[in-house]
């Protein structure tokens, strides 16, 4: 990523964050939101994005999903740099070992998840281009500082993994047999994770301790534990987002794309759901953020029982559509109203965008509003 691509242009219009034209074979290149060499499409402030041969609503839904996948790619690339298969034996190997306390195959799973999100990002943008519709490019916002651990590329990022407020209510939500967020129900946090880093920020976060599991010190293991729960938080969001927006899609082919990619998000979530419960029991105070986190034994009081047992990873049957119906095992939530904006609000509350510009937030809100305004129409090419 060139230095000029990391900086937001101060007078750029909303249209400067979209590109148009058709992608030639082999033109796709790896990177956050970069497709081929298509030139940015500049237009007057407030101009509509082009939908090409797609309906306005379908194009808006795909653009929002492309933006979400760009953001996911960005955060997963940061995890892969420090904890993926390629990081084994490297400068952050203690972090890798901490992740392996949750599962020995964690590095490979992280690398695979990263590859999947990048493939989603590139495919959706390429499909939009093939229909003559504008695509999304967020590279101008890649300005956030990366980890300073040696070996990590010192280039701007879109997401911030160092001040996370991880929503762990998915753990209790998917274990409930009588509540569903689609009915307005709320769920307690399994672990209280506030203002914590999920990646080692510097070498000071890489602490060895021969008396601890895997020889990983408490500080480093706490960071790995936070990451383990954050993986589930991110992927359960994708598990709900795709079926929620699919209900607004008009074209059968676009519906096929949304449902096919959404299925892999569910696969990701179940994987991370299985691993999070293996987090090492510990208490840690972050010396930088000054926050405390406690990872208790979720199989012991005051937790324990079917609701919290750590080997329970399949959704418990619960109420759906109408409480008069039998309980059913489902993804939740799947309410379509406000789904895109809800995703933006959840990611923002997560702390992922700390340090981003007001222009970045406005663009995400605009993309979400357009997706939420989409209405199902007759199928059309």
270-281 average pLDDT score: 96
State the pTM of this model. Answer: 0.88
Closest by CA position to 246, among listed 320, 347, 335, 170: 335
Question: Domain residues of the chain, as ranges?
Answer: 52-372
Q: Which residue has the higher pLDDT, 108 or 3?
A: 108
Weakest mean pLDDT among 9-18, 115-124, 237-246: 9-18
- For residue range 202-219, list pLDDT tens digits in order: 999 999 999 999 999 999
Whether residue 374 is predicted with pLDDT greater than 70 in this model: the reply is yes
| Mean pLDDT in residue range 282-311 | 91
pLDDT number for residue 48: 65
Q: Is the pLDDT of residue 301 over 70?
A: yes
Of the chain, the percentage scoring pLDDT greater than 70 comes to 86
Q: Residue 304: pLDDT band by 50, 70, 90 thresholds?
A: confident
Question: What's the pLDDT tens digit per position in 225-265?
Answer: 999 999 999 999 999 999 999 999 999 999 999 999 999 99
Report the pLDDT averaged over residues 323-350: 97
Whole-number Å distance between alpha carbons of 125 and 277: 35
pLDDT recorded at residue 18 = 61
> CB neighbours of 267 closer than 8 A, spacing ≥ 6?
none
The residues with which 295 forms a beta bridge, in sequence order, are: 282
43 or 330, greater pLDDT: 330
Give the pLDDT confidence of 343-367 residue by residue, as tens digits.
999 999 999 999 999 999 999 999 9
Average pLDDT of the chain to the nearest whole number: 89
Higher pLDDT, 45 or 62: 62
Instruction: Tell me the pLDDT band of 303, cut-offs 50, 70 and 90.
Output: confident
pLDDT range class, residue 10, cuts 50, 70, 90: very low
Higher pLDDT residue, 158 or 9?
Answer: 158
* Per-residue pLDDT tens digits for 18-38: 665 433 323 333 333 333 333
pLDDT for position 308: 82
Examine the pLDDT at 154 and tell me if it is beyond 60.
yes
Rg (CA), the chain: 21
């Amino acid at each position: 990523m060139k230095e000029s691509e990391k900086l937001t242009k101060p007078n750029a219009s909303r249209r400067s964050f979209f590109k148009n034209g058709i992608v030639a074979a082999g033109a796709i290149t790896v990177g956050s939101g970069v497709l081929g060499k298509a030139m940015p499409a500049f237009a007057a402030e407030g101009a509509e994005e082009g939908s090409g041969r797609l309906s306005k609503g379908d194009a808006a839904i795909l653009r929002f999903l492309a933006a979400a996948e760009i953001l996911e790619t960005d955060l997963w690339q940061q995890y892969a740099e420090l904890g993926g298969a390629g990081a084994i034996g490297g400068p952050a190997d203690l972090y890798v070992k901490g992740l392996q306390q949750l599962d020995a195959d964690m590095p490979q799973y992280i690398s695979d998840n990263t590859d999947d999100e990048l493939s989603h990002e590139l495919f959706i943008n390429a499909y939009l281009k093939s229909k003559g519709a504008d695509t999304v490019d967020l590279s101008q916002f890649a300005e956030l500082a990366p980890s300073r651990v040696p070996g990590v590329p010192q280039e701007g990022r879109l997401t911030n993994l160092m001040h996370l407020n991880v929503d762990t209510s998915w753990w209790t939500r998917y274990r409930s047999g009588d509540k569903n967020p689609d009915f307005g129900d709320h769920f307690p946090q399994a672990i209280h994770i506030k203002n914590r880093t999920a990646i080692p920020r510097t070498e000071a976060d890489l602490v060895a301790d021969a008396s601890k599991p895997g020889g990983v010190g408490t500080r480093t293991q706490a960071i790995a534990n936070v990451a383990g729960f954050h993986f589930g938080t991110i992927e359960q969001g994708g598990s709900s987002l795709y079926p929620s927006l699919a209900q607004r899609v008009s074209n059968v082919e676009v519906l096929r794309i949304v449902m096919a990619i959404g299925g892999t998000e569910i696969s990701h979530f179940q994987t991370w759901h299985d691993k999070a419960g293996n987090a090492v029991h510990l208490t840690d105070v972050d010396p930088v953020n000054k926050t405390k986190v406690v990872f208790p034994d979720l199989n012991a009081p005051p937790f324990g029982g079917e609701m919290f047992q750590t080997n329970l990873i399949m959704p418990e049957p619960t109420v759906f559509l109408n409480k008069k119906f039998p309980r059913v095992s489902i993804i939740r939530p799947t309410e379509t109203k406000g789904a895109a904006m809800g995703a933006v609000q959840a990611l923002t509350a997560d702390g992922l965008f700390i340090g981003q510009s007001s222009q970045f937030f406005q663009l995400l809100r605009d993309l979400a509003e357009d997706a939420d305004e989409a209405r199902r129409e007759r199928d059309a090419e």
